[in-house]
Amino acid sequence: MSNDQHAAGIFAEPTPLGLIGLAIGCAALTPIAFGAALSPAAFRTAAVMCLLFGGGCQFLAGVMSLANKNLYGGTLFTAFAFNWVMNWWVLNSIAAGAMPDHTVLLATDSCFLLIFAAMTYGFGFFSGLLFVFLLVIDAMYLLKIAAALTGAALALPIAALTVALGLLALWIAFALLLNPVAGRVLWFPGPVFRAAKP
């Protein structure tokens, strides 16, 4: 996810770290998303995983990307890190018996959808796999917003997308880690879009 105009950065490529953190956060949310673990202890446990891995790994990856002068990856990882901190707070609140305000969460999710939709288009200029990865995030937010607005039961599709997102994150992370040392062992397609020449 590095920008081509910067050949070498201060740090090694931080994208795998951010994606592994995201995958662990998704794994922690999966039992809750499927309704298999809905106790206060489950919410608190998932909250810690969201904070440490989803928030922590992605914040570190974002700061490292920005230090490497990768504005695109740094912006996405850093913004998404704060989204994971919000997940931590929501889960902790539910565990304590206090439901977060529905209207504020809906407005926040709508803003996140706009941000990720724009980022999805941009990632199409990097890789088809990154483009699909962001499309899954967009679909999750669309379903969350639709469920909030209509009251429709969309928990199962959102849960399935949570699993898909975690698996895609691991695939991309492993491709970035293994392909440079072992050859092209994991599929990682090129860009979906090509920038118009000036």
Strands (E), 69-155: none
Strands (E), the chain: none
Residue pLDDT, tens place only, 17-73: 999 999 999 999 999 999 999 999 999 999 999 999 999 999 999 999 999 999 999
| Summary mean pLDDT of the chain | 94
In a domain, 28, yes or no: yes
Residue pLDDT, tens place only, 142-181: 999 999 999 898 999 999 999 999 999 999 999 999 999 9
**Smallest Cα–Cα separation from 2: which of 128, 123, 138, 133?**
123
In a domain, 191, yes or no: no
Distances (CA, A) of 129 to 36, 52, 81, 150: 30, 26, 21, 31
In a domain, 112, yes or no: yes
Which residue segment(s) compose the domain that 48 sits in? 15-182
How far, in whole angstroms, is CA 122 from its chain's centroid? 15
In a domain, 90, yes or no: yes
> What DSSP element (H or E) covers 131?
helix 128-150
CB 125 within 8 A of CB 191: yes
In a domain, 39, yes or no: yes
In a domain, 194, yes or no: no
Domains in the chain: how many in total? 1
Is the pTM higher than 0.95? The answer reads no
How far, in whole angstroms, is CA 171 from its chain's centroid? 13
Q: What integer pLDDT is reported at residue 111 of this predicted model?
A: 96
- At residue 7 the predicted structure's pLDDT band, cuts being 50, 70 and 90, is low
pLDDT at 6 over 60: no
CB atoms within 10 A of CB 41: 9
Distances (CA, A) of 195 to 7, 114, 121, 192: 19, 22, 12, 10
Place of tokens 């922590």: 56
> What DSSP element (H or E) covers 163?
helix 155-182
